[in-house]
C-alpha cells in the first residue's frame, strides 16, 4: 500500500480522502489539540484508518526538526492544506507576511522526504493579482525544492526566487500542476472552490501524465432536472415550489435547448440529508439516537449577508465558524424562508465525511474543523488518479 504523510491534518478531510484512495498514513501532523482529538477518536473507532500513535499534536515546523530521524523513507505522498487565512478573501490579506503562512514548511517537508508526489490545497485567493508574485515563487520552489533558501533572514524570498529560476538542473525536480476545483462539479453537495497544487517527481514513471480532473456534475443539469423536467421534485416526493427569480433567465434558455446532459446534476443539501440512511429531523438540544453528532441548535435567524443555504441547491461553502459566519453557511433556508442551523452531522455530510466518522468536542470546535477541512470526496478523486497514473 502506498505510504503518505499528512501535514496540517485538521479534522481529517484530506487524510480520509487519501485513505479512501488507498494511501496508508505514516504521520498526521496537526497543532490544534481539538483537531487531534478528532483524528485520535476515529483511529480508536476504526483502527484501519490510521494508527493513533501516528497522530502528532505539534506544529509542522517543530515536527520537521525530528522528521529526518523518523525513518520515513520511500514516502509516496505528502498532502495537506497549509493554513489559508493569509490568502483568504475574508482574511487580512497579509499573504507571505502572515506568520500563519506555512508554505515554506510544506516545501521543506517535500525537500526532506522526497515523496513521489504531493498535493497541497488552498483558497483561490492565492491566485489574486496581489499575491501572484508570491504564488509564482511557491510554484517554482515546489518545482525545484532542492534549491534551498539561504539560512536565516539573509535572503528575501524574491531573491531566492531568482536563484530558483536561474538554476537549470536542480537535484530534486517536480512537475507541478495547478487546478481550481469546484467541489459541486465532482458531486459534493456544496459550492466550494479550492486551488490544488499537485506535484510529481520527474524521475517517477508517469510524471507527465497528469491531466485536469474532469467535472462529473453540472449546474445546468440540476436546473433542468428541477424546473424543466421536474424529476427532482418527484424523486424527493415534494410539491414543486415557486421558482426563484434568479433562475428564470437561465431556465428559459434551457427550455429551448433539447439536449441531454452527459454530466449528472449538482447535488443539493436535500440530496445530502436524505441519502441512505435519511437523517432524522434534528431536535433542539437533544442528540438523535443512533446518529453521531446530530443535535439541533435553536436560535437561527437571518440578517443581511446571513441568509442561509437554500435546501434545494448545493450548500454555501462551509467555513471555520459557527454563528454569524458571513453568508449564512451554517444554516439551511427552506421554501417558506424559515431557517435552522445545520447540525454537525449534516455539515459533515456536506463535506462528504461518512456517518461513521465521529467529531467529538464542542460544536464550535467541530464546525471549525469541518470548515477548514478538504472535502473528503475531492481528496479521494485526486488520490485515486495519482495512484492510477503512477501505478502506486
Residues carrying an active site annotation: 84
Q: Sign of torsion, CA 345 349 351 355? A: positive
All cell numbers assigned to 227: 424546473
Tell me how many degrees the CA angle 308-311-314 measures, rounded to the nearest 5: 85
- Residue owning grid cell 434558455: 253
Distance CA 355, CA 294 (A): 10
Reduce the DSSP state of residue 309 to 3 states and report it: strand
What Rg value do the Cα atoms of the chain yield, rounded? Answer: 22
Reduce the DSSP state of residue 220 to 3 states and report it: helix
Q: How far from 137 is each of 114, 151, 267, 283, CA to CA, in Å? A: 19, 17, 36, 50
Distance CA 44, CA 56 (A): 15
One-character DSSP codes across 56-112: EES-HHHHHHHGGGTT--S--EEEE----GGG-TTS---GGGSTT--HHHHHHHHHH
* Other CB atoms within 10 A of residue 358 CB: 19
Decide: residue 258, CB within 10 A, 0-12 exposed, 13-18 middle, 19+ buried: exposed
Residue 181 DSSP class: E
User: What is the rounded (10 degree) CA torsion for 24, 346, 292, 374?
Assistant: 20
Q: Which residues pair with 164 in a beta bridge?
A: none
Residue 303: φ, ψ to 5°: -160, 170
Amino acid at each position: 500500500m502506498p505510504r503518505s504523510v499528512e501535514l496540517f491534518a485538521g479534522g481529517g478531510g484530506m487524510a480520509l480522502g487519501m485513505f479512501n484512495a488507498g494511501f496508508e498514513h505514516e504521520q498526521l501532523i496537526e497543532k490544534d489539540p481539538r483537531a487531534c482529538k478528532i483524528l485520535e477518536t476515529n483511529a480508536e473507532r476504526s483502527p484501519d484508518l490510521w494508527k493513533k500513535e501516528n497522530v502528532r499534536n505539534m506544529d509542522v515546523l517543530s515536527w520537521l526538526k525530528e522528521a529526518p530521524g523518523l525513518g520515513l523513507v520511500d514516502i509516496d505522498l505528502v498532502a495537506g492544506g497549509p493554513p489559508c487565512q493569509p490568502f483568504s478573501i475574508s482574511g487580512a490579506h497579509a499573504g507571505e507576511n502572515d506568520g500563519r503562512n506555512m508554505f515554506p514548511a510544506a516545501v521543506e517537508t517535500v525537500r526532506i522526504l522526497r515523496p513521489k508526489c504531493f498535493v497541497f490545497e488552498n483558497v483561490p485567493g492565492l491566485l489574486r493579482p496581489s499575491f501572484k508574485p508570491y504564488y509564482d515563487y511557491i510554484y517554482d520552489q515546489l518545482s525545484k525544492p532542492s534549491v534551498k533558501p539561504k539560512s536565516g533572514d539573509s535572503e528575501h524570498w524574491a531573491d531566492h526566487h531568482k536563484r530558483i529560476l536561474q538554476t537549470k538542473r536542480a537535484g530534486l525536480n517536480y512537475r507541478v500542476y495547478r487546478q481550481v476545483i469546484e467541489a459541486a462539479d465532482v458531486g459534493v453537495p456544496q459550492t466550494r472552490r479550492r486551488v490544488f497544487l499537485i506535484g510529481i517527481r520527474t524521475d517517477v514513471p508517469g510524471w507527465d501524465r497528469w491531466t485536469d480532473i474532469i467535472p462529473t456534475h453540472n449546474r445546468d443539469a440540476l436546473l433542468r432536472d428541477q424546473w424543466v423536467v421536474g424529476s427532482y421534485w418527484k424523486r424527493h416526493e415534494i410539491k414543486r415550489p415557486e421558482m426563484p427569480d434568479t433562475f428564470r433567465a437561465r431556465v428559459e434558455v434551457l427550455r429551448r435547448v433539447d439536449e441531454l446532459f452527459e454530466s449528472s446534476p449538482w447535488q443539493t443539501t436535500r440530496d445530502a440529508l436524505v441519502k441512505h440512511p435519511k437523517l432524522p429531523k434534528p431536535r433542539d438540544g437533544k442528540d438523535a439516537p443512533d446518529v453521531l453528532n446530530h443535535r439541533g441548535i435553536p436560535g437561527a435567524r437571518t440578517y443581511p449577508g446571513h441568509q442561509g443555504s437554500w435546501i434545494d441547491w448545493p450548500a454555501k461553502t462551509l467555513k471555520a465558524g459557527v454563528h454569524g459566519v458571513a453568508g449564512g453557511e451554517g444554516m439551511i433556508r427552506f421554501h417558506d424562508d424559515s431557517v435552522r442551523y445545520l447540525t454537525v452531522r449534516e455539515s459533515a455530510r456536506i463535506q462528504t465525511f461518512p456517518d461513521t466518522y465521529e467529531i467529538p468536542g464542542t460544536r464550535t470546535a467541530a464546525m471549525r474543523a469541518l470548515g477548514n477541512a478538504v472535502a473528503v470526496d475531492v481528496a479521494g478523486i485526486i488520490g485515486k488518479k495519482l495512484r492510477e497514473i503512477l501505478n502506486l
